[in-house]
């Protein structure tokens, strides 16, 4: 993984000093809250319902055991003993004090971590496939380019006061696990007919109040042009993106209002002016960064009879092995998902103790690598299959062995009204109740792959638009109401879910979800047809009828 | 408006006035006018009057391109410190169109944004915010002095062997 050199170290320390001075001037009254706000947001510090919230960057979701232990330490010392992993592969602490944040940032800097650009109207943490460098279907490692973009975008002098936040995601495999089509810029690694590396480029995807799937602006952008082309997109957006209404300020609205062809022409014109210049990626530099992400020294495959025997004898292991392992490109290896979705728990939360357990496992069995997935789980990307039973045993002892990756209880949910100042409804308790309703292994297995995503307001941080079943909490006459959308998806065939009908009360919503699920079970063409496939085949009619009766 | 300008590390007298579009052109002195008015005048001023231009947020800087050699000062307006359009306008003027004259930041100019403005090619500042003025007088720029991306600005040198990292030398 990427290691700081002396310049990265100096950069992060200088940033801590800069932010400490900004906090000091805020407390001294030299900065108004209005003037301080974008500065603290650019360093991941929000003012929430009950307290400040600090969002720490986990670049493209990759970290090591030492870093994870530091997060555990921060959870214990400055928070209430836990942290919350987010849909952008970062971690949030919900209870830090403003005057302690410089100290937290200094502690993070000790382990090459920071909170730079995890919030604010700037280029945010670049996200990537959580199985990067491990997945069997990968063309190239997306983290190499995510790191190059991270460096280029850090404290960018031109793009730190954009109309609105700007999110970039990269996938290295044809099967998109990074939801690139619902990002401001989505990059999909590809090879052209000459075998050269480049990117399919999407612009203008996003969720929020006006969900849109990104539009393709390049079938193949050569690797060398990555930064110049990205700078061209950002310049056009910075100059012409709307600033009169924050809900219309994302680049998706600019794409929509300007028209794709005209905007593409604007981008290409800006690109032509700078292409071949200082931002051209030299192959040497790509190679230099790539070396940081070289595969670990894989071991010879262990005795897989251990694995096979555990399937037969270890309670729960067969379910875990079926659901939480992903095919690895190295023989004898697998990528292992550690679910942060225990039945009835708050999605994405981990205690300090659990973080330390994961750190220990990564060191002992996982070549010291940990990933955060955008589905709010953790991943050990490189584990010998023969070690999986031992890992499972430890996970089980610490409430981390839920065998539900990709299943109905692997729910994405925003913090909702329990924490967030913007939310208009609760999301975590809805997720917990759904999780309890479907929680038995038999029921989950019967239902199969199904993504439920819950947002507590129309800003859609819980990505409900791209849930196979999406749930949006709104407030109506002082009561919470939950709108259900069906058929959303955030993979290589992205789609925005459709609202199925009038909303349900807090009490009714779990029954409504169960009605939808039961309807699917009745109409599917066998177990092979998952929820999304079935929905795409039959449309909303049977679900509507089951929910609302014939009208 | 401030009667001083911060440039080259010191505050000195502001010799330029900014004219409303309705105001008559003075017979002499130094006056900045809006982009539209400047182009209506064809970039030429009465004998004895020097003309500068104000680029407001939303103005297209490229409209000035034929006049740049003759303009002694261009002011880029930041109507609100959080409105970042001026950064792009400044870089376009300097790097794409090769403007060499004075590039001045006006409007809501605050200390925490000044390092970014400098890197985008702005070299003078009209300051109305007292804490910002104090910080500049005491030479407290509060900058992160390592840059992780190159811009076209002179006076920045590569760091080590990294192709895009820079440090300021001037």
**Residue A153 belongs to a domain with what CATH number?**
3.30.413.10
- Chain centroid, CA A397 distance in Å: 27
**End position of a domain, from candidates A368, A397, A426:** A397
Q: Is A243 within 8 Å of B81 when comparing Cβ atoms?
A: no
Vertex A78: Cα angle to A73 and A84 (nearest 5): 75
Quote the CA–CA distance of A402 and A317 in Å, as a whole number: 10
Smallest CA–CA distance from A37 into chain B, residue: B82
Q: Is B144 within 8 Å of A14 when comparing Cβ atoms?
A: yes
Q: Which pLDDT value is given to residue B163? A: 85
Q: Is B160 within 8 Å of A273 when comparing Cβ atoms?
A: no
Task: State the average pLDDT over residues A54-82.
Answer: 97
Q: Is B112 within 8 Å of A151 when comparing Cβ atoms?
A: no
Check whether residue A146 and residue A272 sit in a common domain.
yes
Q: Is A161 within 8 Å of B81 when comparing Cβ atoms?
A: yes
Tell me the Ramachandran region of residue A155: left when phi exceeds 0, alpha when psi lies from -120 to 50, beta otherwise. left
Quote the CA–CA distance of B23 and A423 in Å, as a whole number: 50
Task: State the average pLDDT over residues A129-151.
Answer: 96
Check whether residue A156 and residue A256 sit in a common domain.
yes
Check whether residue A145 and residue A96 sit in a common domain.
no
Residue, of B2 and A411, whose pLDDT is higher: A411
B57 contacts in chain A (CB < 8 Å) = 243
Q: Is B131 within 8 Å of A30 when comparing Cβ atoms?
A: yes
A285 contacts in chain B (CB < 8 Å) = 162-164
Check whether residue A173 and residue A48 sit in a common domain.
no
Q: Is B145 within 8 Å of A14 when comparing Cβ atoms?
A: yes
Q: Is B88 within 8 Å of A22 when comparing Cβ atoms?
A: no
Q: Which pLDDT value is given to residue A377? A: 98
The DSSP bridge partners found for residue A188 are A171, A200
Residue B87 forms contact with A (CB below 8 Å): yes
Minimal Cβ distance to A151: which of B82, B151, B164:
B164
User: Can you tell me whether residue B88 is helix, strand or coil?
Assistant: helix
Residue B62 forms contact with A (CB below 8 Å): no
Smallest CA–CA distance from B109 into chain A, residue: A35
Cα distances (angstroms) measured from residue A536 to each of A336, A346, A451, A468, A517: 30, 30, 15, 10, 15
Minimal Cβ distance to B88: which of A15, A238, A282:
A238
Q: Which pLDDT value is given to residue B46? A: 83
Residue A128, in any domain of the structure: no
Quote the CA–CA distance of A210 and A465 in Å, as a whole number: 10
Check whether residue A275 and residue A154 sit in a common domain.
yes
Check whether residue A176 and residue A235 sit in a common domain.
yes
Candidates B82, B128, B145, partner chain A, best to mutate (most A CBs within 10 A): B82
- Chain centroid, CA B107 distance in Å: 11
Number of domains in chain A: 4
A282 contacts in chain B (CB < 8 Å) = 163
Q: Is A161 within 8 Å of B143 when comparing Cβ atoms?
A: no
- Chain centroid, CA A192 distance in Å: 28
Smallest CA–CA distance from B119 into chain A, residue: A157
Task: Tally A–B CB contacts below 8 A.
Answer: 102
CB A270 within 8 A of CB A228: no
Q: How far apart are the first and last CA of chain A?
A: 58
ipTM of this predicted structure: 0.97
Per-residue tokens: A119:
């919030």
Residue A232, in any domain of the structure: yes
Task: State the average pLDDT over residues A375-398.
Answer: 98
Q: Which pLDDT value is given to residue A6? A: 87
Quote the CA–CA distance of B40 and A458 in Å, as a whole number: 47
Residue A1, in any domain of the structure: no
Q: Is A158 within 8 Å of B142 when comparing Cβ atoms?
A: no
Question: In the predicted model, is pLDDT for residue A49 greater than 90?
Answer: no
Minimal Cβ distance to A158: which of B88, B112, B164:
B88
- What residues of A are in the B interface, CB distance below 8 Å? 5-7, 10-11, 14-15, 18, 21-22, 25, 30-31, 35, 38-39, 121, 151-162, 227, 235, 238-239, 243, 273-274, 278-279, 282, 285
Residue A544, in any domain of the structure: yes
Tens of pLDDT, residues A105-123? 999 999 999 999 999 999 9
Q: Is B152 within 8 Å of A278 when comparing Cβ atoms?
A: yes
CB B116 within 8 A of CB B143: no
Please, what is the average pLDDT of chain B? 94
Name the minimum distance, in Å, from the CA of A165 to any CA of chain B. 13
Smallest CA–CA distance from A20 into chain B, residue: B142
Q: Is A18 within 8 Å of B81 when comparing Cβ atoms?
A: no
Q: How many residues does chain B have?
A: 170
Residue A367, in any domain of the structure: yes
CATH homologous superfamily for B4-141? Answer: Aldolase class I (3.20.20.70)
CB A487 within 8 A of CB A495: yes
Give the residue carrying structure tokens 């880029």. B76
Name the minimum distance, in Å, from the CA of B47 to any CA of chain A. 35
Name the minimum distance, in Å, from the CA of B80 to any CA of chain A. 10
The DSSP bridge partners found for residue B31 are B17, B51
Surface of B (67-86) touching A: CB under 8 A: 81-85
Question: In the predicted model, is pLDDT for residue A551 greater than 70?
Answer: no
CB A490 within 8 A of CB A181: yes
Helix, strand, coil percentages, rounded to 5, for chain A: 40, 20, 40
Q: Which pLDDT value is given to residue B170? A: 67
Smallest CA–CA distance from B116 into chain A, residue: A157
Tens of pLDDT, residues B25-77? 998 999 999 999 999 998 788 889 999 999 999 999 999 999 999 999 999 99
What sign for the dihedral angle of Cα A460, A463, A466, A469?
A: negative
Smallest CA–CA distance from A232 into chain B, residue: B88
- pLDDT grade, residue A507 (50/70/90)? very high
Tens of pLDDT, residues A449-489? 999 999 999 999 999 999 999 999 999 999 999 999 999 99
Domain with residue A372: its CATH number is 3.90.480.20
Alpha helices of A29-79 — where are they, by DSSP H? 33-41, 65-78
**End position of a domain, from candidates A74, A95, A110:** A110
Largest CA distance in chain B: 56
Predicted TM-score (pTM) of the model is 0.96
Minimal Cβ distance to A155: which of B83, B142, B148:
B148
Residue B162 forms contact with A (CB below 8 Å): yes
Quote the CA–CA distance of B32 and A11 in Å, as a whole number: 39
Smallest CA–CA distance from A160 into chain B, residue: B84
Q: Could you give the dihedral angle defined by the CA atoms of residues B88, B92, B94 and B95, in that order, rounded to the nearest 10 degrees?
A: 110
Alpha helices of chain B — where are they, by DSSP H? 35-40, 85-91, 114-119, 130-137
Question: In the predicted model, is pLDDT for residue A10 greater than 80?
Answer: yes
Candidates B146, B156, B167, partner chain A, best to mutate (most A CBs within 10 A): B146
Residue A299, in any domain of the structure: no
**End position of a domain, from candidates A367, A397, A427:** A397
CB A377 within 8 A of CB A443: no
Contacts of B121 (CB under 8 A, 6+ apart): B90, B91, B93, B94, B95, B103, B151, B152, B153
Minimal Cβ distance to A14: which of B57, B96, B146:
B146
Candidates B138, B164, B166, B168, partner chain A, best to mutate (most A CBs within 10 A): B164
Domain range for A534: 412-548
Closest C-alpha among B138, B106, B141 to residue B124: B106
Per-residue tokens: A545:
């009828």
Residue A404, in any domain of the structure: no
Residue A406, in any domain of the structure: no
Contacts of A449 (CB under 8 A, 6+ apart): A406, A407, A530, A531, A532
Share of chain A above pLDDT 90, in %: 94
- pLDDT grade, residue A47 (50/70/90)? confident
Smallest CA–CA distance from B89 into chain A, residue: A239
Quote the CA–CA distance of A268 and A275 in Å, as a whole number: 10
């Amino acid at each position: 993984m990427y290691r700081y050199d002396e310049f990265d170290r100096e950069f992060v320390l200088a940033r801590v000093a800069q932010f400490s001075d900004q906090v000091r001037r805020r407390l001294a009254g030299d900065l108004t809250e209005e003037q301080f706000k974008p500065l603290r947001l650019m360093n991941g510090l929000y003012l929430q319902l009950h307290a400040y919230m600090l969002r720490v960057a986990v670049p493209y979701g990759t970290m090591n055991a030492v870093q994870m232990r530091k997060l555990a330490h921060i959870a214990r010392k400055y928070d209430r003993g836990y942290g919350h992993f987010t849909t952008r592969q970062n971690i949030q602490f919900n209870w830090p004090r403003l005057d302690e944040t410089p100290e937290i940032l200094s502690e993070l800097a000790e382990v090459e971590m920071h909170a730079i650009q995890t919030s604010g109207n700037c280029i945010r943490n670049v996200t990537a496939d959580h199985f990067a460098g491990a997945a069997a279907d990968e063309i190239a490692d997306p983290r190499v380019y995510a790191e190059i973009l991270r460096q280029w975008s850090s404290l960018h002098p031109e793009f730190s006061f954009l109309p609105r936040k700007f999110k970039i995601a990269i996938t290295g495999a044809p099967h998109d696990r990074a939801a690139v089509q619902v990002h401001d810029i989505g990059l999909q690694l590809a090879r052209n007919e000459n075998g050269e590396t480049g990117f399919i480029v999407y612009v203008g995807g996003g969720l929020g109040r006006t969900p849109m799937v990104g539009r393709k602006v390049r079938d193949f952008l050569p690797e060398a042009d990555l930064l110049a082309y990205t700078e061209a997109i950002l310049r056009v957006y910075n100059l012409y993106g709307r600033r009169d209404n924050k809900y219309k300020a994302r680049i998706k609205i600019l794409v929509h209002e300007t028209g794709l062809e005209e905007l593409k022409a604007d981008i290409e014109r800006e690109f032509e002016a700078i292409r071949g210049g200082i931002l051209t990626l030299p192959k040497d530099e790509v190679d230099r960064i790539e070396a940081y992400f070289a595969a670990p020294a894989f071991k010879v495959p262990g005795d897989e009879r251990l694995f096979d025997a555990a399937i037969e004898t270890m309670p729960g292991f067969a379910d875990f092995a079926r659901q939480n392992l992903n095919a690895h490109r190295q023989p004898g290896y697998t990528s292992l998902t550690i679910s942060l979705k225990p039945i009835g728990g708050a999605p994405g939360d981990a205690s300090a103790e659990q973080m330390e357990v994961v750190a220990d496992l990564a060191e002992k069995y996982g070549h010291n690598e940990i990933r955060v997935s955008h589905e709010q789980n953790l991943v050990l990307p490189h584990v010998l299959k023969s070690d999986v039973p031992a890992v499972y045993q430890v996970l089980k002892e610490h409430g981390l062995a839920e065998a539900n990756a990709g299943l109905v209880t692997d729910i994405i949910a925003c913090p909702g009204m329990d924490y967030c100042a913007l939310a208009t409804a609760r999301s975590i308790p809805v997720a917990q109740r759904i999780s309890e309703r479907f929680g038995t292994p038999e029921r989950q297995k019967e239902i199969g792959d199904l993504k439920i995503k819950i947002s507590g307001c129309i800003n859609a941080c819980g990505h409900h638009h791209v849930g196979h079943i999406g749930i949006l909490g709104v407030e109506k006459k002082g009561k919470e109401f939950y709108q259900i959308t069906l058929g959303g998806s955030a993979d290589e065939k992205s789609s925005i879910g459709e609202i199925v009908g009038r909303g349900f009360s807090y009490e009714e919503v779990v029954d409504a979800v169960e009605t939808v699920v039961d309807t699917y079970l009745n109409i599917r063409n066998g177990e092979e047809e998952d929820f999304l496939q079935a929905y795409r085949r039959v449309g909303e009619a049977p679900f509507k009828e089951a929910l609302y009766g014939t009208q | 408006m401030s009667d001083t300008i911060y440039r080259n590390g010191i505050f000195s007298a502001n010799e330029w006035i900014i004219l409303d579009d309705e105001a008559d052109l003075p017979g002499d002195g130094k006056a900045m006018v809006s982009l539209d008015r400047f182009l209506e005048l064809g970039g030429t001023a009465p004998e004895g009057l020097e003309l500068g231009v104000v680029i407001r947020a939303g103005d297209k800087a490229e409209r000035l391109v034929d006049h740049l050699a003759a303009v002694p000062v261009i002011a880029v307006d930041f109507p609100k410190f959080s409105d970042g359009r001026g950064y792009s306008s400044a870089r376009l003027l300097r790097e794409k169109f090769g403007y060499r004259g004075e590039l001045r930041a006006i409007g809501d100019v605050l200390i925490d944004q000044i390092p970014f403005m400098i890197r985008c090619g702005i070299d003078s500042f009209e300051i109305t915010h007292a804490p910002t003025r104090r910080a500049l007088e005491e030479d407290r720029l509060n900058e992160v002095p390592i840059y992780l991306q190159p811009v076209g600005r002179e006076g920045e040198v590569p760091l080590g062997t990294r192709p895009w990292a820079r440090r300021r030398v001037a």
